[in-house]
Structure 1
Amino acid sequence: MIDLPTSQLNPARSKVTARKFALMASVVAGVGVAVYGFNPSADKAEFFTSPAHAQVNTDVSKVAQPIGFADIVERVKPSVISVKIRMKEKAEAGGEEWSFQPGSPMERFFRRFGGPDGLPPGMRGRRGHGLVTGQGSGFFISADGYAVTNNHVVDGADKVEVTTDEGKTFTAKVIGTDPRTDIALIKIEGGSNFPFARLSDDKVRIGDWVLAVGNPFGLGGSVTAGIVSASGRDIGTGPYDDFIQIDAPVNKGNSGGPAFNMKGDVIGVNTAIYSPSGGSVGIAFSIPANTVKSVVAQLKDKGSVSRGWIGVQIQPVTSDIADSLGLKKAEGALVAEPQPNGPAAKAGIQSGDVITAVNGDHVRDARELARTIGSFAPGTSIKLNILHKGTDKVVNLTLGTLPNTVEARADLYGDRDSSHDSDVPRLGLSVAPAASVAGAGTEGVVVVDVDPKGAAADRGFKEGDVILEVAGKSVSNSADVRDAIKAARADEKNSVLMRVRTGSTARFIAIPIAKG
């Protein structure tokens, strides 16, 4: 009982005060303490306990509890496996740890996303007794022992062992791998009726809960939770990048493990992390389930993946390029150069064409075109919507097979002649006819000097680049370049589009042009 003199109470506010005390009482009740009431008819302000209310609110079973993930984890965790590999140590390796070839694309990628040592997540090699070992994660996709993991987890392995959630160890066989998407399919030898996970059919939404299960640092059977942070991420590993970004902690050893949604379905395969230190900083990348499905189906059927190919070098349509081409939006895929005898060249597609749709489906950018074409089987007939010199047209072609090897790029430039053609004004570069420069070929003009403070340098021009076209017109000397720029100004263009060859690769560059 707490007594307060009535002189301290303002009669005009007694009802308000009563409500305040009642509110305080309800708050206190929420934490399971006895409820107090207020008696306004008493000579003094009186507080009294209410045993009935106290009994209800101190019952822990009636207090709302946070929703956890235990039920989902209990259901899906048995489908996740730890993957351990062994490979014979190569004599030429020479180092204390297994790694990719220095300077290779995969080494640069994992140095950026895997850790400071350039090793992929979960593949810390250890040297000893002539063997190199590594570890990662995976998950069963069928009761008969087929399982998915990362290509980089099992790449080059002489022996693959998996350990189930129950602690049983089995030998596994690599059925097939796809380096372009970093997916591998393995099958357990012996055993049956394995618990397996289902690949999701649902569209991933940013903000959805996600659970990552795997074998971080070899600990096995670890679960972390987070949300989908982003989708459609391009992290620079190849033309088929379409990663889901999650913030569930993922560390080395989680590679190849699943990311589950709240239905218990797999939305992605965890494959990389962004980390300056090598540990989780809350940014991880997963291969989407729809990609995994299509790749696994081919790996299971024939042990490899075949993709459609149209035979073009493509690049994004930037705002400058869109302005140069007279496009309203910076969308589509710009054909930098069709490859000789490829399906696109045979169908009449030319440099400077913009591919805007495939079979009527809109193409947002060059990456989307690459993924779309790659999803078709070789030999498939498709229709491409093309913007050709300002005119829309439809092109029919039959897809070829994407080559497995990338042709080496040759250096086309020998010693340059010291005699320059005159400068191209206002762009910050000097050019000479290609025919006058040894090794530059006969087409276009060669960039022989670049002003580091000029517009051309800002757009990435370098000495030795060959300008083949300006504003859609072939050029063979600086006068041709000047005339093309003059015509672009007359058409009130803010920039001019140039087709430039560097080595064996051609691309378009939009460069701003000064007025006057």
Structure 2
Amino acid sequence: MIRTWISSLMLACAVVVSSPVLTAQAKDLPDFTELAEKQGPAVVNISITSVVHGAGTIGFPGMPNDEALQEFLRRFGIPGMPGAPGQEGGQDYKSQSLGSGFIISSDGFILTNAHVVSEADEVLVKLYDKREFKAKIIGADKRTDVALIKIEATGLPKVTIGDPNALKVGEWVAAIGSPFGLENTMTAGIVSAKGRALPQENYVPFIQTDVAINPGNSGGPLFNLRGEVVGVNSQIYSKSGGSMGLSFSIPIDVAIDISNQLKATGKISRGWLGIAIQEITKELAESFGMKNTNGALVAGVEKNSPADKGGLEAGDVILKFDSKPINTSSDLPRAVAATKPGKVVPVDVLRKNAVKTLQIGVGEIPTEQNEAPVASKETAKPEANKVGLTLRELTPQQKKKLNGKNGLLVIESTGAAAQAGIRRGDVILGLNNSESQSVELFNKQINAVSAGKTVAVLVQRGENTLYVPIKVGK
């Protein structure tokens, strides 16, 4: 008893002594209460209903109608699930999902993600005050994952738009949304990185944060401490389906530009060059004689595209576009897309160790890209060259599919070429900055390369072209 009482007394004293320190630490932490009170009413919950035709029904009695669980079972082909193998021709069913959004004008315009509403047959918006409205989809842009919807209401609370360019890494930010349907949930964290490029996402310089974002948060706002929206929560990196501290938001200036175009015309107009690009690795930089890896490497130019008409060639390295430095390949699509179609811009390129400036008229990005040719397979096998490539010249029909380009079909890939990633069926278009006119010329060029040096081989695979660095052996 005495020992317990003494321990309790010592603990009480420790609390008293340390409390000023705790108070001082608390003063240094951000206070989100005012932000929640003022901005929470402008955040909405979005319920989406989609009718899936000819699908099966839920496979297990009593299983909850949970979107994440259903998607998991669909992907792994669990029998009895809608969309699973063998379920074609079943009954129609209604799929329901949840998302978030925020009001950008008092007359009912709301921003959210395109993936939240793109497949919706009905969109229901629930406000902070519990009122519900059916929403009309004004437009959605899948390339940036931004959508604009509208409800018939006036006098609504709206968010204040901030400047995402003023954000600093390490700055506190907060999200409000409806994770797992829990309305007006606030989570907080810091900006982890800016201008983040993600695979298959060429038009958005994402804001990366460690804010807890979960299913249902999609389309909700990301706030700075001044209560201004700086981003639209869009994606998470997760192995479990829940938050792992890697969330990505669309900068609000990108989202507002998209929403303004959707509101005005119902469609998006973007600049377009008609090229395939890739990142410059150290190996590719070495093969091109470059001192660094800055720029975007042109791996292919579409025939009759703005780039083709402006003089761009495969093997060019774009260093500047419209006077803006291109430090990485991901910088270029954003710069081009943000350019008004029809504008003529200067493009600085590195070509065969010399910098030259081209004047290129930017086109408008097509709604659908033409499919690029796929190389056919041949059976005869000529001898392999120094890097392990067995090649054959293209037939006239194959050249026609390549819009008249010269190329060499890969019959077999072994040795250094296979290690570099070149596969059977690829088409070799060029070596470094030279076009591949014939198997004999290509092999002669390869044989002239000193052992230990790296060459850049331009490859067409399906609809994509890319440079593959190959280290030449003895």
Aligned to 1:374: 337
1:455 aligns with 2:442: no
The answer (yes or no) to whether the contact 1:311–1:339 under 8 Å persists in 2 is yes
Aligned residue in 2 for 1:6: none
Aligned pair 1:167/2:126, yes or no? no
1:90-105 correspondence runs (5 A): 90-94=52-56, 96=58
**Offset from partner CA, 1:301-324 (integer Å, 9 cap, x none):** 111111001111111121111111
Contact 1:431 1:477 in 2 (8 A): no
Aligned-pair CA distance for 1:28 = 7.3
In the alignment, which residue of structure 2 is the partner of 1:22? none
Alignment of 1:192 with 2:154, yes or no, is yes
- Once the two structures are superposed, the pairs formed by residues 50-129 of structure 1 within 5 Å of their partners are 67-87=30-50, 89-94=51-56, 96=58
Inter-partner Cα distance in structure 1 for 2:382 and 2:25: 84
User: Does structure 2 conserve the Cα–Cα contact (< 8 Å) formed by 1:116 and 1:277?
Assistant: no
- 8 Å Cα contact 2:206-2:249 kept in structure 1: yes
Cα distance change of structure 1 residues 163 and 422 upon mapping to structure 2, 3 Å threshold: same
1:272 matched to 2:231: no
Inter-CA distance 29–135: structure 2 relative to 1 (3 Å threshold): closer
For residues 188-246 of structure 1, the C-alpha deviation after alignment (integer angstroms, 9 at most, x for no partner) is: 11x21111112221422221111111011112111111111222223323322422222
- Given that 1:434 and 1:476 are in contact with CA atoms closer than 8 Å, whether structure 2 keeps it comes out as no
Taking a change above 3 Å as real, the CA distance of residues 461 and 297 of structure 1, as seen in their structure-2 partners, is: same
User: Of 343, 346, 349, which residue of structure 1 is paired with 2:309?
Assistant: 346
The runs of 5 or more residues in structure 2 that have no matched partner are 1-12, 60-66, 77-81, 84-89
Cα distance, 1:401 vs structure 2:
0.8
**Given that residues 409 and 503 in structure 1 are in contact (C-alpha distance below 8 angstroms), is that contact kept between their aligned partners in structure 2?**
yes
Residue 226 of structure 2 corresponds to residue 239 of structure 1: no
- Letter of the structure 2 residue corresponding to residue 280 of structure 1: S
Q: 2:251 is matched with which residue: 254, 270, 288?
A: 288
Q: Contact 1:422–1:478 at 8 Å: present in 2 too?
A: no
Distance (whole Å) between structure 1 residues aligned to residue 75 and residue 168 of structure 2: 31
Pair 1:327 & 2:290 matched: yes
Moved more, 472-481 or 341-350: 472-481
Structure (1 or 2) with the larger CA radius of gyration = 1
**TM-score of the aligned structures, taking structure 2 as reference length:** 0.84
State which of 382, 401, 413 in structure 1 corresponds to 2:376: 413
Amino acid at match of 1:459: A
Q: Is the 8 A contact 1:332 1:364 kept in 2?
A: yes
State the partner residue of 2:3.
none
RMSD: 3.2
Match of 1:495 in 2: 454
1:431 aligned residue: 391
The number of residue pairs the alignment matches comes to 438
Deviation readout 1:362-384 (Å, 9 max, x if unpaired): 10122110111001121122111
Shift of 1:481: 2.4
Partner-residue secondary structure (3-state), 2:358: strand
| 2:17 aligned to which of 15, 26, 30 | 30
C-alpha distance after superposition, 1:42-91 (max 9, x if no partner): xxxxxxxxxxxxxxx8xx9999656531111111111100011223x232
Q: Which runs of 5+ in 1 are unaligned?
A: 1-25, 33-56, 98-109, 120-124
Letter in 2 for 1:512: K
Q: Quick one: structure 1 residues 205 and 433, their matched pair in 2 at CA, closer, same or farther if it must change by over 3 Å?
A: same
Q: How many Å apart are 1:247 and its aligned residue? A: 1.4
Residue 322 of structure 2: aligned partner: 359
> C-alpha deviations, 1:334-384, integer Å up to 9, x for none?
111211111111111111111110122110122110111001121122111
**C-alpha spacing 1:129/1:430, structure 2 compared with 1 (3 Å):** closer
Is the alpha carbon distance of 1:116 and 1:481 closer, same or farther for their aligned partners in structure 2, counting shifts above 3 Å? farther
Match of 1:179 in 2: 142
**How much has 1:290 moved relative to structure 2?**
2.1
Q: Which residue in the other structure is 1:212 paired with?
A: 175
Name the residue aligned to 1:510.
Answer: 469
Q: TM-score, normalised by structure 1?
A: 0.78
- The 3-state SS of whatever aligns with 1:455 is helix
Percent of matched pairs sharing the same residue: 35
Aligned partner of residue 485 in structure 1, secondary structure: helix
Residue 422 of structure 1 contacts residue 432 of structure 1 at CA under 8 Å; is this kept in 2?
no
